């Protein structure tokens, strides 16, 4: 069995409460008794039982980070950044992966509802559903959303401005002389997808072009779908000369399909992908990408969560960050 507060109290010949105060640096302990207690604790490698502590203090110093998708290096980057912020503030992170399954999300939500964590950050995922919305109604459930939208915007959230991102990408491709730009977005009917196509359309119109709905594709955000959509497209009536792909995995698949078909990037098709990370960086040729502000997403969301936990958040906060367009070979026209 582990050594407990009580044991230490006995050994130091003081009350448990004194030991607790001493070990937690709380006022009201004599300097010498404090030293004595600390020494004994160290000697016996004392570790406070966090369950008991959490139960008594109603605070665990743990937060849950709930990930919709673990195969996205961009998400992993956000997590790593969150880890740093958490460590700096004395919090530990529980990382949970839902694989976009609502059931798993519900199950992880109980971490919050059963007081195992002080708050939760949800990264990515589908439009917020009822269970999350209901949970958010309790002021005890501190929730921050990252890159995720809800019909009604009750949530403290940090968002990437996909609309702006796609707008930039379209502008760049038009500059390069590409005129038939296809948008490959996610299939989930949700507001984020709407944003993407809004940015796409706005950019085209602002530059004096027509919108062709047949060049907007909604597919599952995985590699295979990215691959298949290209096969489908080249069988179609309108063949684009450029692609904007708005998820990491579809980008991978799309590029694969293009190369497998014997076409060249950017000569036959220009490509703007998503996410500036190890996965997209391995692709040949070097890919122009919309780069997510991963560190800022992490910093803002952790900061918001901390404020929620400490009841320092007066009004609901929403922070919108703009992705950066990093231009590389895959979108540079040979005619330029």
Partner DNA sequence: TTGTAAGCGTTATCAT
Partner DNA sequence: ATGATAACGCTTACAA
Q: 181: burial class by Cβ within 10 Å (0-12, 13-18, 19+)?
A: buried
DSSP secondary structure string, 124-163?
S-SSP-HHHHHHHHSTT--EEEES---SS--SEEEEE-HH
Please tell me the distance from the alpha carbon of residue 121 to that of residue 218, in angstroms, as a whole number: 27
CB of 71 to its own copies, least distance (A): 7
* 76 in contact with its own copies (CB under 8 A): yes
* 61 in contact with DNA (CB under 7 A): no
CB under 5 to 8 A by kind: which of its own copies, DNA, none does 239 bind? none
The binding track of 14-43 with respect to DNA, each residue x by CB under 7 A or -, is: xxxxx-xx-xx-xxxxx-xxx---------
Q: Nearer Cβ to its own copies, position 163 or 301?
A: 301
Q: Nearer Cβ to DNA, position 21 or 201?
A: 21
Please tell me the distance from the alpha carbon of residue 264 to that of residue 32, in angstroms, as a whole number: 76
* 6 in contact with DNA (CB under 7 A): yes
Q: Nearer Cβ to DNA, position 53 or 220?
A: 53
Q: Nearer Cβ to its own copies, position 199 or 266?
A: 266
Cβ 242 vs Cβ 331: under 8 Å: yes
Q: Nearer Cβ to its own copies, position 112 or 170?
A: 112
Please tell me the distance from the alpha carbon of residue 242 to that of residue 267, in angstroms, as a whole number: 10
Please tell me the distance from the alpha carbon of residue 287 to that of residue 135, in angstroms, as a whole number: 41
Residues in the site for its own copies, rule: CB under 8 A?
Answer: 1-2, 47-52, 54-55, 60, 70-71, 73, 76, 79-80, 83, 87, 92-97, 99, 104, 107-108, 110-111, 113-116, 138, 140, 223, 252, 256, 259, 278-279, 282-284
């Amino acid at each position: 069995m582990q050594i407990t507060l009580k044991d230490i109290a006995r050994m130091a010949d003081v009350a448990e409460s004194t030991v607790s105060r001493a070990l937690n640096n709380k006022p009201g302990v004599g300097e010498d008794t404090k030293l004595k207690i600390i020494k004994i604790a160290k000697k016996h490698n004392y570790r406070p039982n966090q369950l008991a502590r959490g139960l008594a203090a109603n605070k665990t110093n743990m937060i849950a980070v709930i990930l919709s998708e673990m195969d996205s290096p961009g998400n992993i980057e956000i997590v790593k950044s969150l880890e740093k912020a958490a460590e700096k503030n004395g919090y530990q992170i529980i990382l949970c992966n839902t694989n976009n399954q609502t059931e798993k999300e519900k199950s992880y939500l109980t971490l919050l509802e059963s007081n195992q964590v002080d708050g939760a950050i949800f990264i990515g995922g589908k439009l917020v559903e009822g269970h999350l919305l209901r949970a958010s109604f309790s002021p005890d459930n501190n929730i921050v959303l990252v890159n995720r939208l809800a019909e009604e915007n009750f949530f403290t959230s940090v968002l990437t401005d996909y609309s702006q991102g796609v707008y930039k990408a379209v502008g760049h491709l038009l500059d390069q002389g590409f005129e038939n730009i296809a948008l490959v977005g996610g299939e989930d009917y949700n507001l984020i997808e709407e944003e993407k196509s809004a940015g796409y359309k706005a950019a085209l119109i602002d530059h004096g072009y027509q919108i062709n709905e047949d060049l907007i594709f909604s597919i599952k955000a995985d590699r295979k779908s990215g691959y298949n959509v290209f096969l489908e497209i080249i069988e179609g009536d309108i063949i684009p000369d450029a692609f904007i792909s708005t998820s990491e995995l579809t980008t991978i698949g799309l590029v694969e399909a293009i190369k497998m078909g014997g076409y060249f990037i950017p000569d036959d098709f220009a490509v703007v992908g998503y996410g500036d990370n190890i996965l997209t960086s391995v692709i040949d040729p070097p890919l122009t990408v919309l780069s997510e502000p991963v560190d800022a997403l992490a910093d803002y969301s952790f900061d918001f969560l901390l404020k929620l936990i400490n009841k320092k958040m007066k009004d609901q906060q929403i922070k919108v960050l703009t992705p950066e367009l990093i231009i590389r070979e895959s979108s540079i026209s040979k005619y330029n």
